[in-house]
Amino acid sequence: MFAYLVLTFLAQSIAQGDTLEVSSPSKDITVRTWISGGVPHYAVDAYDGQVIRPSKMGFTLRGAPRLGGTFRVAAHETSSFDETWEQVWGEKRFIRDRHNELRLRLEETREPKRRLDIVFRVFDDGVGFRYEFPDQEHLHYFEIMDEATEFAMTGNHTAWWIPAYKDNRYEYLYTESPISAMDKVHTPLTMKTQDGLYVSIHEAALTDFAGMAIANTGSHVLKADLVPWVDGVRVKVFVPHVSPWRTIQIARRSGDLITSYLILNLNEPNRIEDTSWITPGKYVGIWWGMHINLWTFWPGPRHGATTERAIRYLDFAADNGFLGALVEGWNVGWGGSSEGGFRYTEAVPDFDIDSVAAHAARRGVRIIGHHETNGAVANYEAQIEDAFSFYKGLGINTIKTGYVGRRIDSGEWHHGQSMVRHYRNVVELAAEMGIMLDVHEPIKDTGIRRTWPNMMTREGARGQEYNAFGENRGNPPDHDTILPFTRMLAGPFDFTPGIFDHDFRETRPDNLVQTTIAKQLAYYVVLYSPLHMAADLPENYEGQPAFQFIKDVPTDWDDTVVPAASIGDYVVIARKDRNSDDWYLGAVTDEEARTLEMPLTFLERGRRYTAEIYADGESADYETNQTDVVIRSAEVTAGSTLFLRLARGGGQAIQFRPVSGVRGPGSHP
């Protein structure tokens, strides 16, 4: 099932200005690279046109000559690679890694003749490249003050972006504009070129380096902008070392960005030998009630995390086949109840964690643990081993962490090298102790879930909670039609879907969940996460037939396809269950109602399916009637076509269950 072939060819140095090339296996994408004036350059062509114009590379160092001004190519190597590997969990079970590689071995022409390698990997869906700093006599430790990497675009393309270097981290609404209107923005940065291609710039395998933002330097030239330490240094490096991969995903259809696995392919294979304890699934939680201001995180007359309420949520999880229940606000430190900050092994008086854990064990479910730091990372690091051990002793193997706050401790950014190290250390410690993680206020995902599959999901965008307290009355209807092509190209998103009761005017009069119920159901397919929350209060699911879809929909997939999509307008995603032959489809639209013609060609030919359809009702509307949902069944085959009627701010969710292996004449419900 798995095979690979590596062919390597060595060559000697080339002259200044001579160009080396490496193409994708399909020959559709080509990288050209050369040295000009001692500076490395590269360019990218795709589908008979240019995507990246000649762009500079290199680094500015502190107290040392620039690394990238007197280079020559001392040698270069090319190789090919083809392997299919299996994800522990994911949106696609088997992923093919097929690429061609070009490695440049650079050496300065002047003393101290420092060395630097640049590696390009070219896939059929894009390009990754990184810098490698080999062990060498004249370079042991250095500090990077700037990265010179450019992405010189071919025009003033349309871009979808959120600002970088803002207090609220990644939690902003996306702006659609020409790239000339951007300043400094986060990645993934997705663009539609003037030639109709879709391009997304991000990074892969971010390890002991600063996170990369993108700066607009004018003339359609974008540049890597490394997030600094509080002292102004961008990256502190001991050699040997490697940078993250700079990634450029390229697609002719916007939906093909979603099914690109280039970022995962640029990460190292799984390092956890026994993964049997890593279990995707759904959960409920003492969470939404705090956000809509029914309860408080801190102790008092309206405290949310009480023993009684936790037991009720665990019973609800057990009765509906969920993994367990998240409990936030159970420990000392909320509301200033501890002078030294949060304490992670001490419960507040009205929460008996021992009895709650024992009840969970009796019901065959688990507590989803919670560690909020409020950005006080030093306090967390001093307790983390004891905190993990405490949870493990209670049978808790899943923890949601949080890093609310504008800065960390003494002023570090959440996405600088200091915190990149912290987040990775937490993931590796959790892996050693058999703990799965759901990280809020995180470092952005760069595919390390392949290497450390206990890193399940993370926040890192405006999720459901903003519908309770965010500006603009919450997330506008087009927000979820942009996320799959931007934030979610990085990896899973703990959006916390499933809100059925949209009316909380008594406690949050300025906010509204600007979706229909059918759209909330569609989120479970469209917004991928291996851990999905049924986020509403349990009483809001009682007597609701639409809740059946949340109970049925899996969170681990065998395959994913994107039959139709238009960034910012609508998206349709279909996924096949890893553990059955069922398919699920989710469709969402923006503030415009629309009907989409949907051929079901992704279904297996020769089989009939029962389609359980959860659709917007005739009067459904995100502003006036969010709760109108219609449930019906139809018999379909791969030759059938469905017409997906989506209300304003609406959606549709469908489960396809095989009913026979005999091909029928097809139907067109």
* Paired residues of 132 in beta bridges: 117, 242
Q: CA dihedral in degrees (387, 390, 396, 400; nearest 10)?
A: -10
* CA–CA distances in Å: residue 35 to residues 7, 39, 54: 25, 5, 11
- Rounded CA-CA distance 625/611 in Å is 25
* CA–CA distances in Å: residue 190 to residues 217, 321, 521: 17, 38, 26
- Rounded CA-CA distance 184/163 in Å is 6
Torsions phi, psi for 246 (to 5 deg): -85, 125
Annotated active-site residue 465? The verdict is yes
- Rounded CA-CA distance 523/536 in Å is 14
- Rounded CA-CA distance 320/613 in Å is 20
- Rounded CA-CA distance 468/536 in Å is 12
* CA–CA distances in Å: residue 353 to residues 295, 344, 401: 19, 12, 18
DSSP conformational letter for 254: H
- Rounded CA-CA distance 112/134 in Å is 14
Q: Give the strand pairing for 324-327 and 583-589.
A: unpaired
| Other Cβ atoms closer than 10 A to 68 | 25
- Rounded CA-CA distance 669/658 in Å is 17
Strands (E), 377-458: 398-402, 436-439, 455-458
Which amino acid is it at 426?
V
DSSP string spanning 533-582?
E--S-GGGTTT-TTHHHHHH--S-EEEEEEEEEETTTEEEEEEEETTSS-
| Other Cβ atoms closer than 10 A to 171 | 18
SS3 (DSSP) at 590: coil
Given 108, 150, 412, 465, which residue is catalytic?
465
List alpha helices for 236-352, DSSP H: 254-258, 262-265, 288-291, 307-319
Torsions phi, psi for 344 (to 5 deg): -100, 5
Are residues 331 and 343 in contact, defined by beta-carbon separation less than 8 angstroms?
yes
Residues marked active site are found at 465
